[in-house]
């Protein structure tokens, strides 16, 4: 890829183009970047490159002659000639991919109040903006475009830096990343990422991507390629959110807890709710599986908490106001309820329903009640 950058300030590019990944790519000859100083093409006595705007107004306008001469002396057949300007179409990954397929690009960087329109009419193929804000010149815009294009050129990113799996390629925002240490300032990295089960990690990341995209850029979901599983996940997220809203309306402060495929989920619950002396057994029974709340069932069976069945379970469930409603979603969303005044009999606890819709656990006052109720009963 050959890139020419026409500017009055070539020194603005040096550090950026010689450092890190871009520097490595330039050195390796994967991108060939030529900086052209527009002032070298100024023909008047003082080598001026700008003048006052006809019709008056603030700022200066770049003269057409040096700009046109600079472009004509540097353009090549098939070269895409791009002018950085707040009026241009806004850069996005689609445009970046389009540029990456070109053999050569020319970026014209304007300063002051821009370039005389005739120079643009004569020599520019398209105007490009990097966003709705004004810069002192087009240089930083050109650098943004060059950086984004360069990383798509084969060999520019190392094997560990693939650009395939990322936002705007998957059509979704990226999932959060974590590295060592596993616990930092009391904040734990998600267990699921530490246990190395690839399918679990992929599912967790996909869910995070969907959730973050839904929260921050819902419009992206309309064009992102989603499969059945994704739609199901989104449905669950929506349900969980509406339930949180409902809980909030009745004065219950609740936070959603991850439970799908997250190993360590059961362990977290056990540490919180199972008395210390019973934890070993509980862990053995619960954490060996996928951390699914269903495994909590085994903890109840192991006598860690009262296990109610049939009519007794229904009665208990009815007593825990809100539980029945929560149970009805049958979607496996868990709630960590901080202020349970609105759920009678629970001071601090949670109501869970398992993914398969068959199990509900209510937790309160440090006790767990496992409710074995047929979902169709409601
Ligand atoms: C042309 C690009 C260029 C016109 C360039 C300013 C922001 C961007 C310039 C002006 C730039 C962008 C009319 C102020 C140079 N600022 N958003 N500044 N005017 O890509």
pLDDT in tens, 236-292: 777 667 656 655 665 544 445 444 333 445 555 556 555 566 666 555 544 433 333
Q: Tell whether ligand 1 has an atom less than 6 A from the beta carbon of residue 137.
A: yes
Identify which of 59, 114, 131 to mutate to test ligand 1's pocket (most ligand atoms within 8 A of the CB). 114
| pLDDT higher at 87 or 290 | 87
- What's the mean pLDDT when you consider all of the chain? 76
Residue with tokens 């869910």: 207
Q: Tell whether ligand 1 has an atom less than 6 A from the beta carbon of residue 133.
A: yes
| pLDDT higher at 279 or 143 | 143
The pLDDT value recorded for residue 346 is 29
Q: Going by CA atoms, what residue is nearest to atom 15 of ligand 1?
A: 137
Q: Going by CA atoms, what residue is nearest to atom 9 of ligand 1?
A: 114
Instruction: Kindly provide the residue ranges of all beta strands, DSSP E only, lying in the chain, ordered along the sequence.
Output: 2-7, 32-37, 50-51, 61-62, 80-90, 104-109, 126-129, 183-184, 187-188, 254-257, 307-309, 334-337, 349-353, 359-364, 367-372
Question: How many whole angstroms separate alpha carbon 355 and alpha carbon 352?
Answer: 10
The pLDDT value recorded for residue 327 is 34
For residue range 325-369, what is the model confidence (pLDDT) as tens digits?
Answer: 333 333 333 444 433 333 333 222 344 443 334 344 544 433 444
pTM of the entire structure? 0.74
Percent share of the chain, pLDDT over 90? 52
Q: Tell whether ligand 1 has an atom less than 6 A from the beta carbon of residue 59.
A: no
- Point out which residues pair with 129 in neighbouring strands: 90
Spatial contact of 34 and 5, defined as CB atoms under 8 Å apart: yes
Residue 115 alpha carbon, nearest atom of ligand 1? 1
Bond into 359 cis (ω within 30)? no
* Cα 136 to ligand 1 centroid, rounded to whole Å: 7
* Cα 144 to ligand 1 centroid, rounded to whole Å: 14
The total number of residues shown for the chain amounts to 378
Q: Going by CA atoms, what residue is nearest to atom 20 of ligand 1?
A: 129
Q: Going by CA atoms, what residue is nearest to atom 4 of ligand 1?
A: 114
Q: Tell whether ligand 1 has an atom less than 6 A from the beta carbon of residue 7.
A: no
Question: How many whole angstroms separate alpha carbon 324 and alpha carbon 311?
Answer: 14
The pLDDT value recorded for residue 308 is 56
* Cα 213 to ligand 1 centroid, rounded to whole Å: 30
Percent share of the chain, pLDDT over 70? 61
Q: Tell whether ligand 1 has an atom less than 6 A from the beta carbon of residue 127.
A: no
The pLDDT value recorded for residue 12 is 98
The alpha carbon of 249 is separated from its chain's Cα centroid by a whole number of angstroms, namely 29
* Cα 127 to ligand 1 centroid, rounded to whole Å: 10
Say how many CA atoms lie within 13 Å of 121 toward its Cβ.
Answer: 4
The pLDDT value recorded for residue 233 is 84
Q: Which helix (H) or strand (E) holds 244?
A: helix 228-249
Q: Tell whether ligand 1 has an atom less than 6 A from the beta carbon of residue 291.
A: no
DSSP 56-103: --SS-EE-HHHHHHHHHHH--TT-EEEEEEEEEEEP-HHHHHHHHTSS
What b/e sequence results for 112-139 when a residue is b if at least 16 CB atoms lie within 10 Å of its CB, and e otherwise? bebbbeebbeebbeebbbbeeeebebbb
Q: Tell whether ligand 1 has an atom less than 6 A from the beta carbon of residue 53.
A: no
Q: Going by CA atoms, what residue is nearest to atom 1 of ligand 1?
A: 114
| pLDDT higher at 198 or 345 | 198
| pLDDT higher at 4 or 189 | 4
Q: Tell whether ligand 1 has an atom less than 6 A from the beta carbon of residue 110.
A: yes
The pLDDT value recorded for residue 275 is 57
């Amino acid at each position: 890829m050959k890139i020419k950058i026409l500017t009055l300030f070539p020194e603005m590019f040096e550090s950026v183009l010689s450092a890190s990944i871009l520097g490595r790519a330039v050195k390796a000859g994967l991108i060939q970047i030529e900086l052209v100083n527009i002032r070298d093409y100024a023909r008047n006595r003082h080598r001026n490159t700008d003048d006052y705007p006809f019709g008056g107004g603030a700022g200066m306008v770049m003269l057409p002659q040096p700009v046109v001469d600079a472009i004509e002396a540097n353009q090549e057949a098939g070269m895409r000639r791009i002018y950085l300007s707040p009026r241009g179409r806004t850069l996005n990954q689609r445009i970046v991919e389009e540029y990456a397929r070109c053999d050569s690009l020319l970026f014209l960087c304007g300063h002051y109040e821009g370039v005389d329109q005739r120079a643009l009419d004569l020599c520019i193929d398209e105007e490009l903006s990097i966003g709705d804000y004004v810069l002192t010149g087009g240089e930083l815009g050109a650098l943004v475009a060059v950086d984004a294009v360069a990383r798509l050129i084969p060999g520019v990113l190392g094997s560990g830096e693939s650009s395939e799996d990322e936002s705007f390629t998957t059509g979704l925002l990226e999932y959060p990343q974590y590295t060592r240490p596993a616990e930092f300032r009391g904040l734990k990295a998600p267990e699921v990422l530490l246990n190395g089960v690839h399918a679990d990690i992929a599912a967790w990341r996909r869910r995070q991507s969907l959730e973050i995209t839904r929260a921050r850029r819902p419009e992206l979901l309309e064009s992102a390629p989603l499969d059945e599983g994704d739609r199901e996940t989104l449905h669950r997220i929506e349900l969980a959110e509406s339930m949180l809203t409902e809980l909030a309306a009745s004065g219950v402060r609740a936070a959603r807890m991850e439970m799908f495929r997250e190993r360590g989920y059961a362990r977290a619950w056990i540490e919180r709710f199972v008395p210390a002396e019973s934890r070993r057994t509980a862990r053995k029974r619960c954490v060996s599986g996928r951390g699914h709340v269903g495994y909590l069932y085994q903890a109840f069976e192991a006598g860690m908490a009262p296990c109610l069945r049939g009519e007794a379970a229904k009665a208990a469930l009815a007593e825990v106001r809100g539980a029945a409603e929560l149970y009805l979603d049958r979607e496996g969303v868990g709630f960590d309820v901080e202020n349970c005044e609105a759920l009678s009999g629970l001071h601090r606890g949670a109501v869970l329903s398992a993914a398969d819709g068959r199990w509900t656990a209510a937790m309160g006052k440090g006790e767990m009640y496992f409710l074995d109720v047929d979902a169709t009963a409601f």
